[in-house]
Amino acid sequence: MARPKRERRILALTGTAAIVALALNLILSAINAQKNKKKRSRDLPGSDVRINLSAVEILRLADQIIAKSKDVHDAVASVPLNKVSYANVVSPLAELEAQQFPLVQSCVFPKMVSVSDDVRKASDEAERRIDAHVSACRNREDVYRVIKAFASKGEWMNLEANRYIQFLVRDFEQNGLNLTPGKRKEVQRLRAQIDDLSMQYIQNLSGDSSSLFLNEMELAGLPPKFMKSLWKAENGKLKISLRSNHVSPILEYCKVGTTRKKVAVAYGRRCGETNLPILENLVQLRHTLAQLLGYSNYADYAVEHRMPKTSAKVFQFLESISISLTDLASKELAALRDLKKKEEGEASFEVEDVIYYMKRAEEQMFDVDFGTVKQYFPLNLVLSGIFKISQDLFGLRFEEVVDAEVWDSEVQLFSALDYRSSELLGYFYLDMYAREGKYGHTCVVGLQNGSLTPKGSRQMPVAALICQFQREADGSPVLLRFSEVVNLFHEFGHVVHMICNRASFARFSGLRVDPDFVEMPSQLLESLCYKNSILKLISGFYQDITKPVPNEICSSLIRRRDSFLH
């Protein structure tokens, strides 16, 4: 299908102002296109991310990464223990990490987005080689001794540098470098097995192309546009991909309980025969590893450096939540069961029914038709609203890099600039539409982390936002379910977080912050979806975008968030 002409900049306005802005935008776009027509992503200032590498180039780059890393680790290991300093121990490792992260991502990211089987296989192999090398580096006793010697000096640098040094020591000691030689060897063996099995598990799911074929009656309740987007076999049955862009709408809209169950079970059983033994083995190996490192179980090992510190505190928290919510949960489930009984008779209420009947309950409670709601959220208008909000809240201006080198014709690249000074702050790729071979979930991937270079300049953050939206077969605007709107806001929060991060070390930049915090910016941004003014800003009836979502729908959506179902 030919790609429709894209707007070069996206502004967020509704009403008459939107029409004026659109006309002005087209003029500015034409000027901007002329100014930037020779600008390519391979020449992006501050970015070392490499796009569209061939299978051979990916494997060659992986080997170069490993060779460079080995040289730096050898140099650090050669420092005499009585001459260790920040400059000859810590700085080389921090610089290596910052320089190599975008190159590593250039090797491993293609497996998520490339349409080429050869490229995806090479990307998998590159990740395997690099992971094996990283594991070997963290088992180097000679490097550990040097780092430990510097850490023991207790020289005060600054808070971030001292934290980085603590992390370096922790990386080695979590691999058993502080244990006896016998235990250390066993830790290394267990870690190698865990890494191999974990990669197998992920590769199995990523490469899964399972599908179901269902007739139109079995898909009753699905929107007509969704039905038209499905591939039809010669026998008239429709192909359902076991990916989130097909599974989520079915669980949300399909009126046929047996279909919801069939799809949910098939989705849950993907790669079951191959992955279940892997999972069982991983559980046992992780438990053995944790005990060898001095923990009572793997849960204690996993949360030691997070807020709870121990698994006991996690269970205490979950138990207190359970006690306070049990009665309310029982009432909610009883209400949903009653709805199913009225609609489907005496069929038992199962987990795959929750999303569908939550929607039915919401429609009744708030008098809202989610099919109608969807008509007010065209994808491009929602994106334009997100850009405007980012400008108002964070002082960011996004401009498309025209004629950018990308991995698919529908991918866009945007530069992020300071709104007032026009200083370049970073970049993000936007890969919106589902396609064969693409990673099956919406997410943000860090391609290059912002950090300070040895000369004091900033390395540009580069992010990729991967979505699973389905293009309409007839070329009409892509309309988002409200849950998709919220999810898009959430993921864009990660993009903003990456671009605005000002960490000095790549280790603490972008999405590599402490896991207790990493979701906070996104949760804050998604909460804006329940503000009346924001709903007006990001909405417009798909046949006339000057008409934002009506007040009564806004009120219903806002009340919905605070209902007993949320």
Looking up residue 59, the CATH number of its domain turns out to be 1.20.1050.40
Is 18 a residue whose pLDDT tops 90? no
Higher pLDDT residue, 507 or 11?
507
> CA 537, 538, 544, 549 torsion: positive or negative?
negative
Residues facing 413 on adjacent strands: 429
CB atoms within 10 A of CB 332: 17
Grouping H, G, I as helix, E, B as strand and the rest as coil, residue 537 is: helix
Does residue 183 surpass a pLDDT of 80? yes
Residue 56 covered by a domain: yes
* 355 shares its domain with 383: no
CA atoms of 178 and 298, how far apart (whole Å): 19
Is it the case that residue 25 has pLDDT exceeding 50? no
Which residues are the active-site residues?
491
Whether residue 411 is found in the same domain as residue 468: yes
Mean pLDDT of 462-480: 88
Q: Domain holding 489: CATH number?
A: 3.40.390.10
- Residues 334-346, mean pLDDT to the nearest whole number: 94
Domain that holds residue 315: 311-363
Q: What is the pLDDT of residue 5?
A: 35
What is the residue-averaged pLDDT of the chain? Answer: 89
Cα 498 from Cα 485, distance rounded (Å): 20
CA angle 94–98–104, rounded 5-degree value: 125
Q: What is the pLDDT of residue 566?
A: 54
Specify whether the CB–CB gap between 188 and 139 falls below 8 A. yes
**Strand stretches in 412-492, DSSP E:** 412-418, 424-433, 443-448, 451-452, 458-459, 462-469
**Domains in the chain, number:** 4
C-alpha to C-alpha distance for 446 and 442, rounded to whole angstroms: 14
DSSP 419: T
The answer to whether position 2 is within a domain reads no
SS3 call for 442: coil
Quick one: 427 and 502 in the same domain?
yes
The residue to which tokens 């929107």 are assigned: 223
* CA 328 – CA 330 distance, rounded (Å): 5
What confidence category does residue 29 fall into, taking pLDDT thresholds of 50, 70 and 90? Answer: very low
Is 411 inside any structural domain? yes
Q: Is 479 contained in some domain?
A: yes
The three-state secondary structure class of 94 is helix
Cα–Cα distance for residue pair 413/428, rounded to 1 Å = 6
Residue 72 inside a domain? The answer is yes
Whether residue 487 is found in the same domain as residue 386: yes
**The predicted structure's pLDDT at residue 207:** 83
| pLDDT tens column, 303-323 | 998 999 999 999 999 999 999
Percent of the chain with pLDDT over 90: 74
Indicate the residue type of 257: G
pLDDT above 90 (res 454): no
Q: What average pLDDT does this structure show over 170-181?
A: 92
Same domain, 443 and 517: yes
Query: What's the angle, vertex CA 110, arms to CA 107 and CA 112, rounded to 5?
Result: 130
- For residue range 380-418, list pLDDT tens digits in order: 999 999 999 999 999 999 999 998 999 999 999 999 999
Both 263 and 401 in one domain: the answer is no
Of the listed ranges 15-19, 185-189, 361-365, the one predicted with least confidence: 15-19
pLDDT of residue 16: 34
DSSP β-bridge partners for residue 479: 378
Q: Which tokens is 543 given?
A: 């046949």
In total, the chain counts a number of residues equal to 566
**pLDDT of res. 42:** 52
In this structure, the answer to whether residues 67 and 172 fall within a common structural domain is yes
User: What's the CA gap between 561 and 566, in Å, rounded?
Assistant: 6
Q: Is residue 202 part of a domain?
A: no
Statement to judge: residues 21 and 54 lie in one domain: no
pLDDT level of residue 76 (50, 70, 90 thresholds): very high
Over residues 336-354, the mean pLDDT reads 94
**Do both 395 and 508 map to the same domain?**
yes
Question: Strand, helix or coil at 235?
Answer: coil
pLDDT of residue 6: 35
In this prediction, residue 564 carries a pLDDT of: 52
How does residue 249 score in pLDDT terms, banded at 50, 70 and 90?
Answer: very high
Residue 4 within any structural domain of the chain: no
User: Does a structural domain hold residue 235?
Assistant: yes
Q: Are residues 453 and 474 in the same domain?
A: yes
**Same-domain pairing of 358 and 474:** no
46 with 169, same domain: the answer is: yes
Q: What is the tens place of the pLDDT at every residue in 126-146?
A: 999 999 999 999 999 999 999
Q: Which residues contact 38 (CB under 8 A, 6 or more apart)?
A: 403
Residue ending a domain, among 363, 394, 429, is: 363
Tell me whether strands 443-448 and 462-469 are parallel, antiparallel or unpaired.
antiparallel
